[in-house]
Chain A
Amino acid sequence: MRMAIDMNAIAPLTTPAVSVDIEGVNLSYGDNHVLKNVDLAIRPGEFFAFLGPSGCGKTTLLRLIAGFNQADTGRVTIGGKDISTLPPWKRDVGMVFQSYALWPHMSVARNVAFGLEERGVGRDEVKRRVGVALDLVGLGHLAERRPSQLSGGQQQRVAVARTVAVEPKVLLLDEPLSNLDAKMRVQVRRELRDLQQRLGLTTIFVTHDQEEANTICDRIAVMNDGIVQQVGTPMELYEHPANLFVANFLGTANILDGKVAGTGADRHFDIEGGLRLPIAADAEVPEGAKLVFRPQHANLAQPSAAAAGPGLALPCVVAHREFLGASVRYGVKIGTTEVAVDMPFQSGRDLHEIGAAATVTLSPHALIWLAR
């Protein structure tokens, strides 16, 4: 099922990569402000993701680039050229639709040929490039089939081949994996990444699945409520989230509410429930901050255990325990707040019992201070 990629075959499909710039874009449907002052600079050849929950505006933004939505303000430039006022059919951006949108009245080959025919490419050249595009996704042998005779994964590849056959400047992928089963999804996302790398095509990928975005994208724009929350590489976003939304959306985050008090060496954090924690002198703590940490960055120790060095030790009570295979996830109560702590599973080692007292220890670099 792997795509057989022949470098000689794809040579004609590679075009110089271009940047995509979105500047000051606002879009409203009546009172519904869907995109709020969006600014993004996508670099040439980059695999870029719009990541966010449903209704965050990510698909709207993608359709805006393709020309199916019109911005109220702002502009979109591709390779330095303003395309904001062009109709969809003059933009030269290839879009792969979530539903694939393969035309059922045409064979696979006719589907792939469509865009080339619309561009007035000669008959022999169309035939050759359809062959190249289908070989690229490993479906050359299914050219005469109807889309309805293909599996979901094959249909998805035809949709990709149909789009790259016209050598678009930019490739837009709208949730391309959402109609595939879990196993296919892992395989196809690798294939998409391989294809993008070899074509060197600037690609924008819309998804609500952080794992998909993390595994295949160079950089991600996390979106919520029509606003770009943060832009960065997957690891940057995970390690240094800009706000609580990003911290929560990428992986699991524990959040402890409290108040910062005192100054200088005496600075401390009062957690709801009466616990007082010292704050390291060099820590940057914004006004009204909450304490955030990842489950796997914490350690669950015996009740009286002390923190190593400048770390924190928080007394807690074990409330839940879930065996996840490689690790055990504990739900522990610190005061009135429940947090998750992941411990690696090693056979023979004693587990903490539900209802027992314990201590959560945290090293200083595991702590993230976020105000909102």
Chain B
Amino acid sequence: MTAIPTAAALPRARRLSATPGQIALALAIAAFLLLFLGLPVGTVLYVAFTEKGTSTFTLVNFYDFFRTELFMRSLWNSFYVSAMSVVWASVFALPLAYLTTRFVFRGALLVQTLGFLPLIMPPFVGAVAMQLFFGRNGSVNLLLDDWFGFKIGFMEGLNGVIFVQSVHYFPFILINLSAALRNIDRAMEEAAQNLGSSGFRLFRRIVFPLALPGYLAGASLVFVKVFDDLATPLLLNVKDMLAPQAYLRVTSIGIADPMGYVISVVLIVASVVAMWLSALALKGRDYATTQRGGGGLARRKMTPWEAVLGYGVVILILALVLAPHLGLLLLSFATIWSFSPLPDGFTTAHYARVFGESSLYIKNTLIYATLAGGIDIVLGVAIAYLVLRTKLIGREWLDWAASAALAIPGVVLGIGYLRTFYGVTLPDGTPLATLWITIVLALAIRRLPYALRACYAALQQISVSLEEAAENLGATKARTVRRVVVPLMAGGILAGFVTSFSTAAVELSATLMLVQSNSDAPLAYGLYVFMQSAAGRGPGAALGVVAVLLVALCTFISHVIIERSQKAKGMGH
């Protein structure tokens, strides 16, 4: 980070929009974003809109895309799977969020914590475990067949993708909806009761509309995530969806084939449209957090019948969403698990193999995710500071550009990196795209929006007067940032780092494209390779368990640190 000179040292700087240090910092960030986000995405767009091998503008690639029956089916399938995943994720999340925020509910904290668990495992890993429980010859269907003589196709074709994705991504809706419900001013609900409203009418007319922004934020995230996901459909052997098609085109037909790029553009457009629609629906509705009176809905005691029903629903949903974890754990210790409800025998050999020959994957993941998280919080703090604390012209553009990464699917970024940096060679002739640092940069760009939002929120909560007090007592801007701003932001910065780290650790969409040799591969890639063969599933599951534990441990430690630092600052409860 460059030093930021004081305004006082440069009397003329007052006339400018910012100090030279701030301008230099902004330009450096802009250059980074342009090089590693703008250029790859621009390249993808360029290739999609030009004739193969020339630089002539053409729409013929898109004409081909819309004429090909496979692509149109893939497009429809991607939409269908994403929309149905949102529906099912809502079915899982709504009861959990409503019951735990609206009623006196024993274990509300446990439910909320367990509800997060699916997020810390790559969905494609869960897919394998789900096959074992819910597949054609999985535990549930074997038992159903024994007892009732029929099977249910939970995991058949698109249904399998929908099932896995909704179980995996429903926490996004749960988290956002719960937060929105908790933030509703209790007086909002009481005012409606005072005017004669109660029961379901009260929920429909007041509570749900007030929580709608939270719900839509979660729902649009689920839609986009599912639309972009590459590994889950591939692992479930569903190829006629858009993201897998993009990957298969580039890897099987070649990097010069324009179809992969056209599909990429369609993926970007779908992402942008989904986000734009949710933003449009939320326009002028940023009221989920208007809170002046007592916070949160009034919690009501459940009648015995309501309690039986409520706990029953919650336990059923939790059993369902935790099934992948349980399945993975069983699989990692199983000798053989096929055509039987439970494994035939148990062994620790898979773990021995993982820690022996596959420890390289773990090491790589730790390095990549740490570096990516580090880059993200440095950029996040810098951008947040420039946007919130300076008057630099065009500073919002940095924020927008960094956040734009949200709309770029991982597979698109991967394709963009390959195409852009393959031609750039180091002095010894190795292409830049084959270096492991490319993976780190892709991960950093992918996760930057999350870290940025965390840093932004942390800085927003710090009163400017705290900084002015430091400057008044003689600290320069740079020293104020170092001694006052960053320590006060520490909790938010750490939260941003952990979000980046833990999601980068299990990311596959972008890295699947960029991993060139097994020795550079991160954990998620190793998992993917293992899971593709029946023999590799045991060690793969063991590796998956390691990944889950790794991410869970990091999240837990950071949670403890944040709690402790907030208590020390008297901000805790």
Contact = CB atoms under 8 A, between A and B. Distances in A.
B196 A118 contact: yes
Interface stretch (B186-194, B505-513, B565-573): B186-194
B185 A101 contact: yes
Contact of A94 (B194, B198, B287): B194
A89 B190 CA distance: 9
B12 interface: no
Contact of B188 (A103, A146, A163): A103
A95 B194 contact: yes
B389 interface: no
B195 A105 contact: no
Interface in B268-293: 284-285, 287, 290, 292-293
Nearest to B210: A105
Interface string A93-121: 11101111101110000000011001100
Interface string B283-319: 0110100101100001000000000000000000000
Contact of A68 (B190, B196, B287, B292): B190
Interface string A75-100: 00000000000011111111101111
Nearest to A66: B194
Given A99-B292, A103-B206, A148 B187 contact: no
B190 A88 contact: yes
A166 interface: yes
A43 to B, nearest CB: 23
Contact of B193 (A89, A105, A119, A162): A89
A93 B201 contact: no
B21 interface: no
Interface residues on A, range: 20 to 34
B469 to A, nearest CB: 27
A105 B187 contact: no
A155 to B, nearest CB: 11
Nearest to B202: A89
B423 interface: no
A36 B192 CA distance: 29
Nearest to B209: A105
Contacts of B195: 89, 94, 114-115, 118, 162-163, 166
Contact of A101 (B191, B198, B205, B284): B191
Interface string A327-368: 000000000000000000000000000000000000000000
B187 to A, nearest CB: 4
A91 B197 CA distance: 11
A125 to B, nearest CB: 15
Contacts of B191: 95, 97, 101, 103, 162
B312 to A, nearest CB: 27
A94 B298 CA distance: 19
Interface residues on B, range: 20 to 34
A146 B187 contact: no
Contact of A99 (B187, B192, B193, B285): B187
A101 B290 contact: no
A203 B109 CA distance: 42
A91 to B, nearest CB: 8
B194 A88 contact: yes
Interface in B186-227: 187-188, 190-198, 201, 205-206, 209-210, 212
B210 to A, nearest CB: 6
A101 B196 contact: no
A105 B198 contact: no
A148 B293 contact: no
A180 to B, nearest CB: 13
Contact of B196 (A98, A166, A179): A166
Nearest to B189: A101
B62 to A, nearest CB: 40
A93 B210 contact: no
Contacts of B209: 103, 105
A91 B293 CA distance: 22
Nearest to B290: A104
Contacts of B190: 66, 68, 88, 95, 97, 101
Contact of A146 (B194, B210, B284, B298): B284
A207 B293 CA distance: 16
Contacts of B197: 89, 114-115, 118
B24 to A, nearest CB: 40
B193 A98 contact: no
A166 B192 CA distance: 12
A158 B190 CA distance: 16
Contacts of B194: 66, 88-89, 91, 93-95, 163
A25 to B, nearest CB: 19
A362 B197 CA distance: 59
B301 to A, nearest CB: 12
Contacts of A146: 284
Contacts of B292: 99, 179
Interface centre among A100, A101, A146, A162 (most CB of B within 10 A): A101
B187 A98 contact: yes
Interface of A: 66-68, 87-95, 97-101, 103-105, 114-115, 118-119, 146, 148, 162-163, 166, 179
Given A68-B193, A118-B197, 12 more contacts: A67-B193, A88-B190, A88-B193, A89-B194, A101-B187, A101-B190, A104-B285, A105-B210, A105-B212, A114-B197, A118-B196, A166-B195
25 contacts: A66-B194, A68-B298, A88-B193, A88-B194, A88-B198, A89-B195, A89-B197, A90-B196, A92-B196, A94-B194, A97-B293, A99-B293, A101-B188, A101-B293, A103-B191, A105-B212, A105-B287, A114-B197, A118-B192, A118-B197, A119-B196, A148-B290, A162-B195, A163-B194, A166-B195
- Which 6 residue pairs of A and B lie closest in terms of their CB atoms, listed nearest first? A115-B195, A101-B187, A104-B287, A99-B292, A101-B191, A118-B196
